[in-house]
Amino acid sequence: ISSQVSANPTNGFSVVTWTGTSSSATIGHGLGVAPSMIIAKCRVTSAVYNNWGVYHTILGNTKYLELSNSGAAGTGSTWWNNTSPTSSVFSIGTQFSENNSTYVAYCFAAIPGFSAFGSYTGNGSADGPFVFCGFRPRFILIKNISSAYHWEIIDTARNPYNLSDALLYPSSYSAEETSAITNRPFDILSNGMKARSSDSAINASGSTYIYAAFADVPFKYARGR
């Protein structure tokens, strides 16, 4: 499939658009390295499927999430065609290739000191797991992939003080919540983050969580808050 790409390989980000053909295909992404995370969306509201679909390197090429709902990770070849991204292309199944429908994808590659994409396993304790990012995070997106809990956004712009407790939910129309209601705070540290709650949305014992984190400043300039 022919695609239009606007890419910034230095920052590990590209925006890609294409038109579906009813067949699986490969799409160029312009990053020069395999993306760690892809968020794709049909731009035609009348399409059979037009939710936000998510690929994450931890899930692998057979599974998917939807940014627009709270469900656990699902399995299906129609999403990423059971094929991992390469340094030049990512693969799509028919989910993202309805004939003549237009699509957009946001592709992210991990850049040391700038962005990180990974996972952690919850321990069910208020002394939660430490997640090393290699920088002080400015923006964090988290999802429990084992169970149906909302995606959560934490950032240090809305709440610049530890513990970070102002939450937004991409998978919900809810307004911002704080720990006074939800009790799901994070420590934002000079080189990563640490859950400070046993709440299942961020730290259920044995559950797997994926994250995307973007830096405030590179690690060599970072300080704890």
**What's the pLDDT tens digit per position in 69-82?**
999 999 999 999 99
C-alpha torsion sign, points 112, 134, 91, 49: negative
pLDDT reported for residue 224: 54
Report whether pLDDT(176) > 80. Answer: no
Please identify which residue in the block is written with the tokens 């590179």: 218
Higher pLDDT, 225 or 35: 35
* pLDDT, tens only, 40-62: 999 987 778 888 999 999 999 99
Give the distance, in angstroms, between the CA of residue 144 and the centroid of all CA atoms in the same chain: 11
Mean pLDDT of the chain: 89
Q: What percent of the chain has pLDDT over 70?
A: 92
Q: Is 201:144 a contact under the CB 8 Å cutoff?
A: yes
Whole-model pTM: value is: 0.91
Quote the tokens at residue 149. Answer: 């809990």
pLDDT tens for each residue of 181-222: 456 678 889 899 999 888 888 899 999 999 999 998 865 445
Cis peptide bond upstream of 163, omega within 30? yes
CB atoms within 10 A of CB 205: 11
Helix-strand-coil split of the chain, %, nearest 5 = 10, 40, 50
Q: Which helix (H) or strand (E) holds 110?
A: none
Q: Looking at residue 159, what is its pLDDT?
A: 76
